[in-house]
């Protein structure tokens, strides 16, 4: 029994991403199912991967348990010498320490993880380590480090085709840091890159995050009306996905947009909604943002004591959690409030501290505010020289477009204006007299024209009014006749309307009931999908065992009747592709039966020959489904091969098929060969004593092997023409010399072009591997 492990790249939004109550409930159900698997017969490596998945799902909701399972994972990985498991355990521990604001410990763990990942050439581990180092650079105000590590992670994500990771790095790392540095065009470029990748993936949650970040950038640039539509779209997605933390973040920025438009009460209402959510989930970063935003709104309203209370609340969290990136902002906010309260000494101290920290972190917006209020403070305390210096700094920051060329142009304009002023003074009197004469002449012409126009219009108006008067009388007679007929028809329509409304209400009630049932069914099928995916071999295990290979796995529905299975016993590697009767839910249930029986046959009964496995599987399926009593004919077609070392650095490949073939291409031969499967289906009772036989081939290095279901070859196009086995074999032969991942892309492209304008008719499974 196997669990499929997936990793989500760390997200860098300033407010973070936490798990909502609904998501926690779903996670808990999944965690419980994982814990049940721990009590079954699984290998030590599989146990590490299950610990990995449990730690990941506990990561946000229960730090103690997440650390507990990460340490179990670390101990067991060391015991069985499984460095990939060790890297993944370091990743969980580093993320948790960062969430707990223990940044130095997190940095130490990330460095260890990076060193080990490089040593074992574990690309995904290297990418996760760079992500973690980039996040920690953010918390250390090291923007250069954040960009450096982010770009290294991006390169790796692109290399392993991790589109989700690429989208998150574009948005959460590169876009965010350029925005913080005030390079808004560069930030917007990366946000739109992230949105494009997210839309290609059709990942609703990531699309919502992109809308959110684009909106915050518009707010920073004071484009409030452009920000609000993006925020409303992001809010809809946050509600759909049940992401409480993201919903709270959207409310904060929606409040900022309303405050920017001077709709202060609307803004405060949004901030309060955000704070209410964040207090429930105890999210420190988001709470700081909420308190700061509410304080800013009250400051603009002149309610300084309320503003002071909110900013002090934010500062307490910042100090307690050592959130250094927020210190410049809280100091400057407190300083500005003390300025308005006329406590100039306190204001000056806090504003200077904030300005110093903002310069260190290169935050131009905070520097601008600090310089502004320091200038006002020094002015009110009669320190005019200091006030002037800060005003100069404020002007420098605010007017980034003002440069030497502009200064030269302004000087030239001023000189031209001075010279022209002297020349104009000589001619001004004469010019004024000419202008007065011209204006008087124009005024007389306008009066004359308006008089003629008025008389003409009056005549036309009288004619039109006379015409309409007689037309009205004529039309009134017609209207009276029509009204009588309309009254009768209205009464008829009213009765029909009442009947239609009654029918509509009944239909709406039925529709609501159907929608509710459909939602429950979809939720159940989605849960079944998670369980089915958990039964398939892990990607990491496939990569480690088979090395150069590809898997094309496309269920027709949410769940699939096709599945693939991998086992390594001693020096033997056993790989199978199975096509269960039907697709969707029935096929998925049959696939779960198949995986369970295969594990029992190989792991418990120690049967390792392909024919032995399939013949025993026939017996076990008949027993499990009680086919002799019920007459049930559900079962599966299958292709199973076993790879083991042979003499002279060759590989012995034994194959057995139940109506499914093995295709192979040897490097010394320019021909694609086929070993046909036996005319036997698993789960079908035959009167004669048919048996599945094993075929044996001795293969050299770089021999290509392919097995799969009939879904690929049987897929039709809009003209109902099948893809065909002949065309599949041709594509395999044409691409025999390229790497396996390029073969996969060529096959997927050909299938996609063939399917344009039609639906997928069956589950699709095709596995290819190269003997190395």
Report pLDDT for 479.
81
Q: Taking a C-beta distance cutoff of 8 angstroms, is the pair 656, 611 a contact? A: yes
Main-chain phi, psi angles of 221, to 5 degrees: -90, 10
Helix 610-625 to helix 584-599 angle, to the nearest 10 degrees?
Answer: 120
Q: Report pLDDT digits (tens) over 462-511.
A: 788 878 778 887 888 788 777 777 777 777 777 777 767 767 877 787 88
Choose among 409, 405, 379, 382: nearest CA to 391: 379
Choose among 562, 592, 593: nearest CA to 579: 562
Strand, helix or coil for residue 635: coil
Q: What is the dihedral of CA 684, 686, 690, 693, to 10 degrees?
A: -10
Rounded average pLDDT over 21-33: 62
Report pLDDT for 21.
37
At residue 755 the predicted structure's pLDDT band, cuts being 50, 70 and 90, is very high
181 burial via Cβ count (<10 Å: 0-12, 13-18, 19+): middle
Report pLDDT for 16.
36
pLDDT of 246 strictly over 70: yes
Q: Report pLDDT digits (tens) over 202-211.
A: 888 889 989 9
**Cα 297 from chain centre:** 31
Report pLDDT for 502.
66
Where does a domain end: 198, 214, 234? Answer: 198
Q: Which two tokens stand for residue 747?
A: 């096959």
Q: For residues 369-404, b (16+ Cβ closer than 10 Å) or e, as one string?
A: bbbbbbbbbbeeeebeeebeebbebbeebeeeeeee
* SS3 per residue for 660-699: CCEEEECCCCCCCEEECCECCCECCCCCCCCCCCCEEEEE
pLDDT of 60 strictly over 70: no
- Distance, in Å, from the CA atom of 461 to the CA atom of 455, rounded to the nearest integer, reads 10
Residue 418 sits at the vertex; the CA angle it makes with 416 and 423, to the nearest 5 degrees, is 90
- Distance, in Å, from the CA atom of 404 to the CA atom of 346, rounded to the nearest integer, reads 37
Q: Is residue 271 part of a domain?
A: no
Q: Is residue 277 part of a domain?
A: no
- What's the start-to-end Cα distance of the chain, in Å? 27
- Distance, in Å, from the CA atom of 254 to the CA atom of 235, rounded to the nearest integer, reads 9
pLDDT of 398 strictly over 70: no
Express as a percent the part of the chain with pLDDT over 90.
31
Q: In sequence order, what are the beta bridge partners of 704?
A: 665, 770
17 and 65 both lie in a single domain:
yes
- Distance, in Å, from the CA atom of 377 to the CA atom of 342, rounded to the nearest integer, reads 9
Report pLDDT for 600.
94
Report pLDDT for 18.
31
Would you say how long the chain is, in residues? 772
Full strand arrangement of the beta sheet holding 695-699: 562-569, 572-580, 636-646, 650-658, 695-699
Choose among 561, 559, 563, 565: nearest CA to 537: 565
Q: Taking a C-beta distance cutoff of 8 angstroms, is the pair 145, 137 a contact? A: yes
Q: In sequence order, what are the beta bridge partners of 554?
A: 764
pLDDT of 430 strictly over 70: no
Q: Taking a C-beta distance cutoff of 8 angstroms, is the pair 84, 7 a contact? A: no
CB atoms inside a 10 Å sphere around CB 32? 10
540 and 573 both lie in a single domain:
yes
Q: Taking a C-beta distance cutoff of 8 angstroms, is the pair 338, 373 a contact? A: no
Q: Which two tokens stand for residue 592?
A: 């779960």
Q: Which two tokens stand for residue 459?
A: 């005549």
Task: List all residues 6 or more positions away from 249 whose beta carbon is below 8 Å from its beta carbon.
Answer: 13, 15, 212, 274, 286, 289
Q: Taking a C-beta distance cutoff of 8 angstroms, is the pair 634, 652 a contact? A: no
Where does a domain end: 511, 534, 557? Answer: 534
Q: What is the dihedral of CA 464, 465, 468, 469, to 10 degrees?
A: -150
- Distance, in Å, from the CA atom of 478 to the CA atom of 705, rounded to the nearest integer, reads 87
Task: List all residues 6 or more positions away from 634 whose beta carbon is below 8 Å from its beta carbon.
Answer: 580, 581, 582, 586, 590, 625, 683
At residue 346 the predicted structure's pLDDT band, cuts being 50, 70 and 90, is confident
Report pLDDT for 288.
85
User: What's 363's domain CATH number?
Assistant: 1.25.40.10
Q: Taking a C-beta distance cutoff of 8 angstroms, is the pair 517, 509 a contact? A: no
712 and 601 both lie in a single domain:
yes
Please state the domain count of the chain.
4
Q: Decide which of 33 and 699 is more confident.
A: 699
- Distance, in Å, from the CA atom of 678 to the CA atom of 690, rounded to the nearest integer, reads 9
427 and 547 both lie in a single domain:
no
Q: Is residue 449 part of a domain?
A: yes
Q: Decide which of 172 and 362 is more confident.
A: 172
82 and 19 both lie in a single domain:
yes
51 and 157 both lie in a single domain:
yes
Q: Is residue 637 part of a domain?
A: yes
CB atoms inside a 10 Å sphere around CB 53? 23
Q: Is residue 712 part of a domain?
A: yes
Rounded average pLDDT over 277-296: 84
Please give the DSSP secondary-structure letter assigned to residue 716: B
607 and 715 both lie in a single domain:
yes
458 and 367 both lie in a single domain:
no
- Distance, in Å, from the CA atom of 295 to the CA atom of 716, rounded to the nearest integer, reads 63
Q: Is residue 310 part of a domain?
A: no
Alpha-carbon distances of 517 from 207, 343, 525, 673, 755, rounded to whole Å: 28, 63, 12, 50, 32
Rounded average pLDDT over 217-237: 89
CB atoms inside a 10 Å sphere around CB 340? 15
Least confident of 433-437, 544-548, 635-639: 433-437
Q: For residues 463-482, b (16+ Cβ closer than 10 Å) or e, as one string?
A: eeeeeeeeeeeeeeeeeeee
Alpha-carbon distances of 24 from 31, 35, 62, 242, 740, rounded to whole Å: 10, 16, 10, 10, 39
686 and 755 both lie in a single domain:
yes
550 and 530 both lie in a single domain:
no
Q: Which two tokens stand for residue 313?
A: 């609340």
Report pLDDT for 51.
86
At residue 651 the predicted structure's pLDDT band, cuts being 50, 70 and 90, is very high
Where does a domain end: 198, 228, 249? Answer: 198
Report pLDDT for 451.
74
Most confident region among 317-321, 429-433, 674-678 by mean pLDDT: 674-678
Please provide the average confidence, as pLDDT, over all residues in the chain. 83
At residue 13 the predicted structure's pLDDT band, cuts being 50, 70 and 90, is very low
At residue 326 the predicted structure's pLDDT band, cuts being 50, 70 and 90, is confident
Beta-carbon-side half-sphere exposure of residue 743 (alpha carbons within 13 Å): 26
- Which range marks the domain in which residue 436 is found? 403-534
Report pLDDT for 419.
41
Q: Taking a C-beta distance cutoff of 8 angstroms, is the pair 29, 534 a contact? A: no
Q: In sequence order, what are the beta bridge partners of 764?
A: 554
- Distance, in Å, from the CA atom of 689 to the CA atom of 730, rounded to the nearest integer, reads 36
Q: Decide which of 135 and 13 is more confident.
A: 135
24 and 157 both lie in a single domain:
yes
Report pLDDT for 108.
93
Helix residue ranges per DSSP H, 39-142: 44-58, 63-79, 83-99, 103-119, 123-139
User: What's 632's domain CATH number?
Assistant: 3.60.40.10
Q: Is residue 326 part of a domain?
A: no
Strand, helix or coil for residue 565: strand
Report pLDDT for 6.
27
- Distance, in Å, from the CA atom of 614 to the CA atom of 598, rounded to the nearest integer, reads 9
Whole-prediction pTM:
0.41
At residue 602 the predicted structure's pLDDT band, cuts being 50, 70 and 90, is very high
Q: Is residue 491 part of a domain?
A: yes
Please give the DSSP secondary-structure letter assigned to residue 644: E
Task: List all residues 6 or more positions away from 486 whose beta carbon is below 8 Å from its beta carbon.
Answer: none
Q: In sequence order, what are the beta bridge partners of 675?
A: 662
- Dihedral (CA of 42, 44, 46, 51) sign: positive
618 and 518 both lie in a single domain:
no
Strand, helix or coil for residue 369: helix
Report pLDDT for 687.
81
Long-range contact pairs involving 226-232 (C-beta distance under 8 Å, separation at least 24)? 227/253, 227/257, 228/254, 228/257, 228/258, 231/257
Rounded average pLDDT over 86-103: 88
Report pLDDT for 427.
52
């Amino acid at each position: 029994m196997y669990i499929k492990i997936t990793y989500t790249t760390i997200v860098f939004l300033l407010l973070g991403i936490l798990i909502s109550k609904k998501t926690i409930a779903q996670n808990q159900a999944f965690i419980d199912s994982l814990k049940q698997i721990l009590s079954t017969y699984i290998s030590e490596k599989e146990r590490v991967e299950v610990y990995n998945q449990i730690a990941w799902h506990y990561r946000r909701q229960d730090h103690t348990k997440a650390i507990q399972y990460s340490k179990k994972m670390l101990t067991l990985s060391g015991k069985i010498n499984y460095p990939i498991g060790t890297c993944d355990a370091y990743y969980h521990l580093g993320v948790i320490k960062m969430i707990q604001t223990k940044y130095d410990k997190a940095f130490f763990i990330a460095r260890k993880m990076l060193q080990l990942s490089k040593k074992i050439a574990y690309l995904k581990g290297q990418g996760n380590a760079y992500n973690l180092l980039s996040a920690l650079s953010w918390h250390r105000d090291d923007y250069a480090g954040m960009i450096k590590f982010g770009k290294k992670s991006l390169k790796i994500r692109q290399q392993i085709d991790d589109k989700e990771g690429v989208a998150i790095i574009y948005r959460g790392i590169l876009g965010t840091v350029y925005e913080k540095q005030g390079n808004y065009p560069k930030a917007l470029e990366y946000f739109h890159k992230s949105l494009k990748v997210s839309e290609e993936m059709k990942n609703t949650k990531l699309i919502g995050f992109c809308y959110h970040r684009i909106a915050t950038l518009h707010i920073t640039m004071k484009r409030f009306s452009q920000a609000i539509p993006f925020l409303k779209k992001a809010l809809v997605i946050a509600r759909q996905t049940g992401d409480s933390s993201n919903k709270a973040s959207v409310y904060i920025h929606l409040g900022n947009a309303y405050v920017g438009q001077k709709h202060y009460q609307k803004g405060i209402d949004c901030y309060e909604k955000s704070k209410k959510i964040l207090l429930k989930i105890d999210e420190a970063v988001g709470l700081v943002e909420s308190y700061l935003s509410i304080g800013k709104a009250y400051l603009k309203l002149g309610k300084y004591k309320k503003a002071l209370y909110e900013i002090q609340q934010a500062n307490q969290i910042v100090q307690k959690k050592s959130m250094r990136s927020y210190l410049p902002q809280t100091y400057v906010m407190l300083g500005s409030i003390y300025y308005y309260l006329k406590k100039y000494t306190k204001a000056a101290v806090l504003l200077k501290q904030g300005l110093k920290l903002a310069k260190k972190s290169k935050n131009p917006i905070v520097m601008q505010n600090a310089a502004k209020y320091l200038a006002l403070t020094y002015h009110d305390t009669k320190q005019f020289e200091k006030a002037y210096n800060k005003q100069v700094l404020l002007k420098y920051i605010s007017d980034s477009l003002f440069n030497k060329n502009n200064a030269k142009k302004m000087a030239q304009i001023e000189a031209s204006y001075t010279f022209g002023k002297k020349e104009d003074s000589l001619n001004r009197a004469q010019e004024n007299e000419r202008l007065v004469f011209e204006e008087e002449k124009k005024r007389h012409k306008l009066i004359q024209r308006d008089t003629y126009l008025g008389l003409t219009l009056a005549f036309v108006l009288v004619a039109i009014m006379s015409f309409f008067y007689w037309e009205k009388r004529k039309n009134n007679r017609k209207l009276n006749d029509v009204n009588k007929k309309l009254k009768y028809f209205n009464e008829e329509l009213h009765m029909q309307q009442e009947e239609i409304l009654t029918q509509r209400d009944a239909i709406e009630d039925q529709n609501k009931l159907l929608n509710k049932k459909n939602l429950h069914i979809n939720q159940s099928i989605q849960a079944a999908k998670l369980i089915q995916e958990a039964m398939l071999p892990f990607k990491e295990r496939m990569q480690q065992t088979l090395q150069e290979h590809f898997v094309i796995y496309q269920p027709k529905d949410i769940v699939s009747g096709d599945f693939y299975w991998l086992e390594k016993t001693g020096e033997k590697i056993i790989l199978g592709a199975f096509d269960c009767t039907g697709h969707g839910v029935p096929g998925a249930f049959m696939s779960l039966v198949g995986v369970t029986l295969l594990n029992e046959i190989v792991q418990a009964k120690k049967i390792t020959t392909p024919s032995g496995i399939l013949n025993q599987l026939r017996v076990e399926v008949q027993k499990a489904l009680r086919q002799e009593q019920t007459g049930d004919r559900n079962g599966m077609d299958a292709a199973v091969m076993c790879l083991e070392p042979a003499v002279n650095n060759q590989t012995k490949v034994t194959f057995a098929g139940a109506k499914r073939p093995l295709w192979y291409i040897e490097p010394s031969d320019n021909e694609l060969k086929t070993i046909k499967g036996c005319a036997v289906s698993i789960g079908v009772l035959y009167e004669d004593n048919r048996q599945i036989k094993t075929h044996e081939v001795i293969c050299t290095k770089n021999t290509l092997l392919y097995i799969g279901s009939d879904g690929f070859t049987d897929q039709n196009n809009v003209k109902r023409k099948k893809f065909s086995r002949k065309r599949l074999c041709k594509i395999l032969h044409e691409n025999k010399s390229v790497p396996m991942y390029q073969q996969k892309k060529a096959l997927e492209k050909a299938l996609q072009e063939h399917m344009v304008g039609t639906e997928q008719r069956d589950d699709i499974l095709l596995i290819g591997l190269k003997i190395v």
